[in-house]
Chain A
Amino acid sequence: MAETVEAKAPRRIQLPVLDSFLWLIRLAAIFAVVWGAYFSLSSGRLSGAQWKDLVIFGLSQGSVYALIALGYTMVYGVLRFINFAHGEVFMSGAMVAFFVARGLSRTAMWTDQVFLSLFLVMLASAATSTVIAVALERIAYRPLRGKPRLIPFITAIGASFFLQYAIAGLFGFGFKSFPQVPALSGSFFFAGFRVLKTQSVVIVAAVLMMIGLYLFVERTRTGKAMRAVAEDQEIARLMGINVDRTISIVFAVGGAMAGAAGFLYLLVFQQVFFLTGFIPGIKAFTAAVVGGIGNIPGAMIGGLLLGGIESIGPSLVLTGLGIPSAHQLKDVVAFLALVMILIFKPSGVLGERVAEDRA
């Protein structure tokens, strides 16, 4: 009923000046990208092998973003709500993964049973994040369901701060360095690309998990319930689906993916501290929007895309524009991608899958 009313109402502010202004920005952006890329490539400052390294690095950090993005996209799909604290859910998992790994690295198991011990670390990380995500939903978000949209969002900002400083208080403010994994040092060549062994583990694990999640959502009864709740909570309830329980499961699955991402993040970036969750969290949200929010395969593609843009973009575009030490600005590139995507294509590449209109 609500949809038919809204369909008739003018949805967009009509403003020719604004539109031409936005077109101008769009053209300027495209021009800058083409111009920068042309000069970077023609200057030949980076060799082909170096570009390939950047691509692989982008893929590995992109698969971490993709796993985090799943949590944003699933929660948004069901509740139309940005779980701003999701980055902290990811960070908590990484933090616990560090302590478990440090404990294990002092035993013989760390070298004898590499994959078992890494699996245990990942399990601990995923379990922590799952518990935190579910508790967060139960304590902070559930009582606010149905309130004006900004209220749960502000709550999530509060939760994000609370978790950051709670973790800092519990485990200390300093950086924590992940122990070396001897079996995963070194690299190998795959189809002409040099791949670090840790990167290959990260990419393979992420892809496996995403396939698993896709099958879970598409093939199981619980997955069907999730999709039903995302479509229409009221009807789903009438069909006998336990909506509260389903939403808890959504948070649990999103949390588990974020926790696994926390462990993989440690493999790629080696260290974690209490603010680690913030920037990857924002980037993962960007990835979710890039792929079309509410859209699970979209989050995966968006994550890989964003990882690539962030890794290649500064060297490709900014260096070509004559900006010194462009790698400093990789976060600027990511944030610009976020801003541009939200302004110009908020429905993402694959299209968003949100039943109601975004108000």
Chain B
Amino acid sequence: MTELLAARQVKLGDAIKTGLVAGIVAIFVSAIGMVQRFDSRIIFSSVTFSYVLLIGIFAGSGYQAARPPLRLEGYEAPKAGVRNVLAGLLAGTAGGILLALFILVAGTANLRPIFPNISPELVEILAFGRELGLGATLAALAAAVLGLLGGALQLVPQRLKKAIGGTFLWIVLFALLRGVLAPVTRGLGITSLTDLLYERQGLSIAGLVAVAVVVFSSYFFLAGRVRAARGGLERLPENRRRIVVLAGLAVVTLFLGAIPQVVGVFLSEVLSAAGIFLLMALGLNIVVGFAGLLDLGYVAFFAVGAYTTAVLTSPISPRFTPELTFWAALPFVILTAAIAGIMVGTPVLRMRGDYLAIVTLGFGEIARLLFLSDWLEPTFGAARGIRRVPDIALGPIVMKGPQDYYYAILLFVLLAAYVSWALQESRIGRAWMAMREDESVAEAMGVNIVAAKLWAFVIGAIIASFGGALFATRIGSVFPQTFSVVVSVTILVLVIVGGLASIPGVMLGALALVALPELLREFEQFRFLIYGALLIFMMLKRPEGLIPSRRRTRELHEEEVEQDAWLKAEAAKQEAN
């Protein structure tokens, strides 16, 4: 065994840089109006969500700055110590000073003509309502202390670290999700629970303690158990495992079916909106996740579905008089979507990667502009769109209201999820996978690339057109402005954040990224800003998504796996010596 060099230490200069970045981020979220907008949401007593945001930024910078450097070959393992805490303190101080300077400038000069969101109210929030000098000093001090605490978090053991971070997040989440919990407890007849957890605004003391205790202990004691349970399931013999899985599915289905009765109209509405996006995300997941074809014009298929439904069913749609019901129109929707899929898919058969993305983007915009144009006004109504799209009727039952629509959307979502799941391991699914990894090799191995690509486009288009059909009937009208490129990118964000090619991941992505902003109105304004930042962040830090598909992870981290293998081999060699 050779002598190891002394462990590498945290660089304090880097800590100051991290702090300055945090300061700039804090100023940025203030200047775009986030801080002021979030100030109306109270988490606990007088702590508002904007303070939570700033606490997160500065404590996070301290934590990041105090992170011990990577262990390199030939060095001792780094240990966190006083120096790490000092780094945290430095980061917090640097960021705090920057924020304090911003408070002083914003408090003295009137920046509103250029930056409409830098208002006196913002300064008041940042300066804790004190006069300018004192407030700025307090803000800087608070940031320094937060940086120190963040740095100190590096000293505690890994398990405790996770528990503390998790508790913090869950407390905030519980406070934010009051609007979700209240109707649920009302539906279940246990309003006393919400009365206990919440005050008039924000969490009550009892609620805070209860959430903290439950979350902390479950983090601390359950860590690793979940994974162990999953491992146990996989070790079960085939027939018993199938029984467990089926039982689980039955419970989930019952649960999903009961939701609208329990949660009430508003939440059903939110879930329906998220459901349509989830449906389309499942479709895009087939195109991008399974087949690796980055389609930025996916909204075109959504539009085709919506317009076909509207033209065929609405009594005031011109040029087509025998009005169909939703179900009678559905085969035509599928047909037009399939044709649209082939029309987009065929010319781009020879294209790969980014060029494909740009061409599909072009197709998407062309579709929107055509629906909007006066040229096709007799059929699609141009900017006025098509109104009076009737509700879905199933025999004598007419679906009215969000609670009914929830079931229609759930039906299609389950269908799409089943199709995705069944396709994944099918012959075509494996062809997609091979094509995604290397098109030339797949072709050489006998995969029919043309068929594989066209199937991906067609299946994706049909699923998106279902989304469009449901959207048209749910809203009752179709307007061309709805179908902008923003929708395509939103769906892409859902797929990528959840996890490319991972069905549970896509579901989580849709719930978190569509349902949450619908529930928390103050997020609405910053939705796309957050989507953009999330895309960058995910690509930089976790390209496989929140719930990764195993195979996809392997592809994305190929180099690291190789590196690990090399390290292991080296270690084995050293052992042998």
Contacts and interface: CB of A to CB of B under 8 A. Distances in A.
Interface of A: 9-10, 12-13, 15, 18, 21-22, 25, 81-82, 99, 140, 143-144, 147-155, 157-166, 169-172, 278, 282, 285, 323-325, 328-329, 331-332, 335-336, 338-339, 342-343, 346, 358-359
A138 B34 CA distance: 25
Interface in B457-500: 485, 489, 492-493, 496
A58 B349 CA distance: 33
Interface in B114-143: 114-117
Nearest to A5: B440
Q: Which of B32, B358, B531, B539 has the most CB of A within 10 A?
A: B539
Given A13-B443, A171-B114, A154 B366 contact: no
B365 A331 contact: yes
Interface stretch (B95-103, B367-375, B564-572): B367-375
Contacts of B116: 171-172
B347 interface: yes
A151 B539 contact: yes
B443 to A, nearest CB: 7
B524 to A, nearest CB: 12
Contacts of B444: 9
Nearest to B356: A342
A169 B349 contact: no
Contacts of A282: 358, 361-362, 365
B350 A342 contact: no
A343 B535 contact: no
Given A324-B375, A359-B352, A339 B28 contact: no
Interface in B335-379: 346-355, 357-359, 361-363, 365-366, 369-370, 372-375
B360 to A, nearest CB: 9
Contact of A143 (B374, B528, B531, B540): B540
B327 interface: no
Contact of A335 (B349, B351, B362): B362
A161 B529 contact: yes
Given A162-B535, A328-B373, 12 more contacts: A143-B540, A149-B354, A158-B532, A164-B528, A169-B526, A170-B115, A278-B485, A282-B358, A323-B375, A339-B359, A339-B362, A342-B359
A103 to B, nearest CB: 9
Contact of B362 (A12, A158, A338, A359): A338
A332 B370 contact: yes
A165 B354 contact: no
A148 B32 CA distance: 33
Given A21-B346, A140-B536, A148-B556, A13 B32 contact: no
B348 A343 contact: yes
A332 B540 contact: no
Nearest to B34: A169
Interface string B504-546: 0000000000000000000001101101111110011001000
A165 B369 contact: no
B450 A157 contact: no
Contacts, number: 163
A235 B305 CA distance: 52
A24 to B, nearest CB: 11
28 contacts: A9-B440, A10-B443, A13-B450, A21-B346, A22-B347, A25-B347, A82-B354, A99-B114, A140-B536, A154-B492, A154-B535, A155-B536, A155-B539, A155-B540, A158-B533, A158-B535, A158-B536, A161-B532, A162-B532, A165-B526, A169-B117, A169-B529, A170-B117, A171-B116, A325-B373, A335-B363, A336-B362, A339-B366
The 4 lowest CB-CB distance pairs between A and B, nearest first, are A158-B535, A169-B32, A162-B532, A161-B532
A325 B540 contact: no
A162 B347 CA distance: 31
B536 A162 contact: yes
B449 interface: yes
B69 interface: no
Interface size for chain B: under 10, 10 to 19, 20 to 34, or 35 or more residues? 35 or more
A328 B526 CA distance: 31
Contacts of B16: none
A21 B346 CA distance: 9
B534 A158 contact: yes
Contact of B33 (A13, A169, A339): A169
A338 B359 contact: yes
Contact of A329 (B375, B531, B532): B375
Given A161-B528, A169-B32, A332-B369, A15 B450 contact: yes
A339 B363 contact: yes
Q: Which of A163, A329, A335, A359 has the most CB of B within 10 A?
A: A335
Nearest to B361: A282
A82 B528 contact: no
A324 B374 contact: yes
Contacts of B493: 158
Contacts of B164: none
B112 to A, nearest CB: 10
Q: Which of A10, A144, A343 has the most CB of B within 10 A?
A: A343
A166 B529 contact: yes
Contact of B347 (A9, A143, A335, A343): A343
A166 B28 contact: yes
A331 B367 CA distance: 11
A325 B28 CA distance: 44
Q: Which of B346, B352, B492, B555 has the most CB of A within 10 A?
A: B346
B294 interface: yes
Contacts of A338: 358-359, 362
A325 B444 CA distance: 50
B526 to A, nearest CB: 7
Contacts of B358: 82, 282, 285, 338, 342
A161 B489 contact: yes
Contacts of A13: 349-350, 443, 449-450
Contacts of B373: 325, 328-329, 332
A154 B556 CA distance: 14
B392 interface: no
B532 A18 contact: no
Contact of A328 (B374, B539, B540): B374
A339 B365 CA distance: 11
Given A154-B496, A329-B375, A339-B362, A144 B354 contact: no
Contacts of A172: 116
B374 A165 contact: no
Interface string B377-409: 000000000000000000000000000000000
Contacts of B531: 158, 161
